Structure 1
Amino acid sequence: MKLKSIYKQFYQKLIVATSLFIITISFLFYGYTKATIYEGIKESLYNDAKLIYQISVNNEQTKDNFNIITNSGIIVDIITYEEISDVQYKDYKQNNDYFIEILYPFDVQNHKFIKIVKNVNYAIAMLNKIFNNVILLSIGGLIMVILYAFTVSKTLLRPIIQITDKLSNMDENYLTKIDKSNLPIEFHALANSINKLTNRIQTFVMFKKELFVGAAHELKTPLAVMKLKNEVTLMKQREPERYQETLKLNIQQINDMNKMISSILDIGRQEGAQFEKAEELDLVQYMKIKANDFRMLSAEKKITITYYASVNNFYTSIQPTLLNQIIQNFMQNAIKFTPVDKSIAIVLDRINDRAVITITDEGIGIDESIDLFAPFKRVGEESGAGLGLFLAKNAADTLGATITLKNRTDGKKGTVAKVELLNNPHLKTISKVKTDSRALF
């Protein structure tokens, strides 16, 4: 298969189109000039014939009457021609000379016509010069068109070449932003998209590296504890209780490692969920069902969960598995860090074309100076692999959503987790509802 060059295609089409335009204009100009000259000669002959006719009609027909305009290569005669009755023109060549002839009615009843023959060599010579000049101008124009096509092609394609070169030199170890200052404004949207994608790739690669290093470290630590405890236990004979204690420690460490391995497997499943087909769902009803599910989970700690929606319906097309990972992680953390007999509030708002889901708890709060979305970042003394928020962030990036974690600013202790479905590529038309409609579940 022959490879096509957009640069080559562009300048070839530009040359062909402009060349055809120049050639067409040149021939139209030459044809118009020729027709104008010939019309001028014919009009001059017609006026001469008319003058001869008027003089001859008003006076006696003499030789002098017919020879009043015999200068400048003009021959005047009177002939009999029975086959015509009106003015006739004819141009012809004879012995390398060019002539135009007019037959003007003189005595219609007797079929007599004034015949004037004019040598038009001078006009033909002038037309040849015009034609040669037109050809030279066309050739010069074609040369300029070719140079113009190459110049314009390079100028217009330079931004594409610049972006292509930039992208072709990138890899996971060398990711740089595209400088928009030297790009035409039409390419700014493309540069912004590429820069956003580059940032996502850079973040993804950084998190992946941190994930693998962290996983190795997190798995190595319990293994080292188990190995040391087992070695110490086997150094001498001990009571059965000591062996049981060691086995219990091993089981605890194995359980922790299983949790971590499950979280790592969730990351693999999430990458598969990115290709899940989007489904249409009503976020209001979806969050109502989720709130009911988490009420059963929070019943053990007597935590009250309330759900409030500012609209009756909010339809969207979205990948539910990825959305569930975000909501589930936020709710599990809220329940985990919220004390007994406290409350968690879930609020769904519509802001323009965005769905904003806010989960507010009465827990211990967070350290906002720490990037909690990085892998293996933990809050408080609760157990966990530290990969939940990392999974939530990856899911949000895939959905085109924005998630944030902040401390409460209303004077109470706790955390506010927010999900904004912003610039979601799967977002469909939102149902038309009154702005004052409310739903409390």
Structure 2
Amino acid sequence: MKFKSLKTRVLLWFGSIVALLLILFSFSFYYFYNKSINLSLETRLYNQARYLHETVLPHLKKGEIIDDDRYDSLQIAIVRGDDIVNQTKKFHLKHFDTYLNATKPFTSIADDEHMSVIYDFKFQKPFEGDILLYQKEIDDKAENVVDTLLVLNPILLLVLLFLGHQLIEKVLVPIRSVTQIAKNVSVTNFATKIPLPKGEHELKDLVDSFNTMTDRLKEGVEKIDRFNSDVSHELKTPLTVIKGEIEVSLKKKRTSEYYQQTLHTIFDAAHQIQRIIDDLLFLTKFSKKNIKTTYRLSDLDAILLKTVDKYAPIAAKKSIKIHLDRLEPVAYLVNPLLIERIFSNLLDNAIKYTPCDKNIHLSIYQDNQVHFKIEDEGIGIAEKFLAKITDRFFRVDASRNKSIDGFGIGLSIVENCVNLHDGTLKITSKEGVGTTVEVLL
């Protein structure tokens, strides 16, 4: 039978362990207590036997009766060979010879609530013989303890179960509170915060972790909503263009030149959609699990020079000068495709947002880290937008115009590529002055 309640399962485990411990304790206590009683009786009989041997036996004549009154309930017999030469009047131990040949001198016999003990003391002088001491109907204290334990153990178990139940209830109170508040959290409701409990304990860490998780979920949902909105907007525009051009073209017959112009417009819109899809697929192509298998020892300075050569004609159209302030040989284990994408996207952005006749400065070098820095004299980014600038499809309002091509995915790709290399991306900017981006690997 399975118990779904955590409290019930904990209580069952607790009860089982306590019951097992009580049983083990009872057996151990009985064993050692019984052993202690037997040892005490054996010691007393041994001392009595020594007293008889040293004090009484030298004065006894063969066949003389030992005085009973001096030894209370103790029965005594002095044996020589197989014959009893002296004894008390009430010595009635049957088959006494069995105990003479026993391996141990002390023997105890349990009988209901009483016990009997026999002790065989062997001596050599004044003749070779044995002193047998026999005492019966001794109150069995060990058995009394067993009876007491049989009554106390169930009571103790019930008391401990009750205390365990109360303790579990006390522990579960704040957990139930956390659960109740957690049930109210949903995709549309992240406002609820669980109050931090007082004191330093695990539950406080749990609540703190939960609150942090809800903050992350809220941020993630907001990003997804913004992503859905932006991707819908970015794809809707070229699709609307395509649909509009086709509808106009189908209304009546057009000239071949008009159809050709329409096809060019549709081609540009389709190409725009293809670029958006390619960029989105690129973001999901690599992961932390597979990226390291693609690492190669690459010359990053050579990749940068190749990228500069690629974008030099585009910069020249705006009379923008690209300066290599610090170019040092850097060989590093990387994915060369991703590194080239980092350089391309950052340089492309710098050229896009830098006015004509301005400058772009590049540096790449290595100390304890690889440093790549790009500084432009562009329009800059307001401080309030810096935290969101790497989000997918995010574009600063001032840049949302048709004169600047792009979809707001470039910096998101850069950040993803840097993260896949366990690197750091630093962006600083000032409106009207320019932007500095530094990549650390």
Instruction: Report the equivalent of 2:97.
Output: none
- Given that residues 98 and 121 in structure 1 are in contact (C-alpha distance below 8 angstroms), is that contact kept between their aligned partners in structure 2? yes
Instruction: Report the equivalent of 1:219.
Output: 238
Q: Does 1:290 align with 2:303?
A: yes
Q: Partners in 1 of 2:300 and 2:7 — Cα distance? A: 53
Instruction: Report the equivalent of 2:70.
Output: 69
Q: Partners in 2 of 1:286 and 1:7 — Cα distance? A: 62
Q: Partners in 1 of 2:194 and 2:419 — Cα distance? A: 24
Give the superposition deviation at 1:291.
0.7
Instruction: Report the equivalent of 2:136.
Output: 119
The 1:136/1:94 distance shift into structure 2, 3 A limit, reads: closer
Instruction: Report the equivalent of 1:418.
Output: 438
Q: Which amino acid aligns with 1:416?
A: T
Q: Partners in 2 of 1:59 and 1:226 — Cα distance? A: 140
The 1:226/1:356 distance shift into structure 2, 3 A limit, reads: same
Q: Partners in 2 of 1:149 and 1:96 — Cα distance? A: 36
Q: Does 1:274 align with 2:287?
A: yes
Equivalences for residues 89-108 of structure 1 within 5 A: 89-92=106-109, 98-105=115-122
Query: What do residues 101-149 of structure 1 show as CA deviations (whole Å, max 9, x unaligned)?
Result: 1122356575432222112431x1x222211223334334433554566
How high is the TM-score relative to the length of structure 1? Answer: 0.69
Query: What do residues 357-388 of structure 1 show as CA deviations (whole Å, max 9, x unaligned)?
Result: 43222333233334434525253742223332
Instruction: Report the equivalent of 2:389.
Output: 372
Q: Give the secondary structure class of the aligned counterpart of 1:184.
A: helix
Equivalences for residues 135-146 of structure 1 within 5 A: 135-144=150-159, 146=161
Q: Which amino acid aligns with 2:352?
A: K
Q: Does 1:53 align with 2:68?
A: no
Equivalences for residues 5-24 of structure 1 within 5 A: 12-24=12-24
Instruction: Report the equivalent of 1:424.
Output: none
Q: Partners in 2 of 1:95 and 1:22 — Cα distance? A: 24
Query: What do residues 180-215 of structure 1 show as CA deviations (whole Å, max 9, x unaligned)?
Result: 824536647965884575256324422322223322
Instruction: Report the equivalent of 1:331.
Output: 347
Q: Partners in 1 of 2:174 and 2:419 — Cα distance? A: 28
Q: Which amino acid aligns with 1:346?
A: S
Q: Give the secondary structure class of the aligned counterpart of 1:127.
A: helix
1:345 to 354, 357, 362: 362
Q: Give the secondary structure class of the aligned counterpart of 2:70.
A: coil
Q: Partners in 2 of 1:161 and 1:399 — Cα distance? A: 43
Q: Partners in 2 of 1:67 and 1:14 — Cα distance? A: 57
The 1:358/1:275 distance shift into structure 2, 3 A limit, reads: same
Q: Which amino acid aligns with 1:35?
A: K
Q: Partners in 2 of 1:322 and 1:159 — Cα distance? A: 48
The 1:275/1:7 distance shift into structure 2, 3 A limit, reads: farther
Q: Which amino acid aligns with 1:69?
A: R
Q: Partners in 2 of 1:320 and 1:170 — Cα distance? A: 44
Q: Which amino acid aligns with 1:27?
A: F
- Given that residues 309 and 347 in structure 1 are in contact (C-alpha distance below 8 angstroms), is that contact kept between their aligned partners in structure 2? yes
Cα RMSD between the aligned structures? 4.9
Q: Partners in 2 of 1:311 and 1:120 — Cα distance? A: 102
Instruction: Report the equivalent of 1:40.
Output: 40
Q: Does 1:386 align with 2:402?
A: no
Instruction: Report the equivalent of 2:225.
Output: 206
Q: Which amino acid aligns with 1:329?
A: N
- Given that residues 100 and 118 in structure 1 are in contact (C-alpha distance below 8 angstroms), is that contact kept between their aligned partners in structure 2? yes
1:184 to 180, 195, 203: 203
Q: Partners in 2 of 1:159 and 1:356 — Cα distance? A: 50
Give the superposition deviation at 1:153.
6.6
Give the superposition deviation at 1:52.
2.0
Q: Give the secondary structure class of the aligned counterpart of 1:406.
A: strand
Aligned residues: 405
Q: Give the secondary structure class of the aligned counterpart of 2:373.
A: strand
Q: Give the secondary structure class of the aligned counterpart of 1:181.
A: coil
Instruction: Report the equivalent of 1:436.
Output: none
The 1:259/1:95 distance shift into structure 2, 3 A limit, reads: closer
Q: Which amino acid aligns with 1:30?
A: Y
Structure 2 unaligned blocks of 5 or more? 83-99
Query: What do residues 293-336 of structure 1 show as CA deviations (whole Å, max 9, x unaligned)?
Result: 212123213543537589966657xx766665444322221233
Give the superposition deviation at 1:44.
1.2
Query: What do residues 221-271 of structure 1 show as CA deviations (whole Å, max 9, x unaligned)?
Result: 64587589x59xx9999xx9xx96896587357525522442134213422
Q: Does 1:407 align with 2:424?
A: no
In our comparison, the structure showing a higher alpha carbon Rg is 2
Q: Which amino acid aligns with 1:334?
A: A
The 1:309/1:331 distance shift into structure 2, 3 A limit, reads: same
- Given that residues 3 and 9 in structure 2 are in contact (C-alpha distance below 8 angstroms), is that contact kept between their aligned partners in structure 1? no
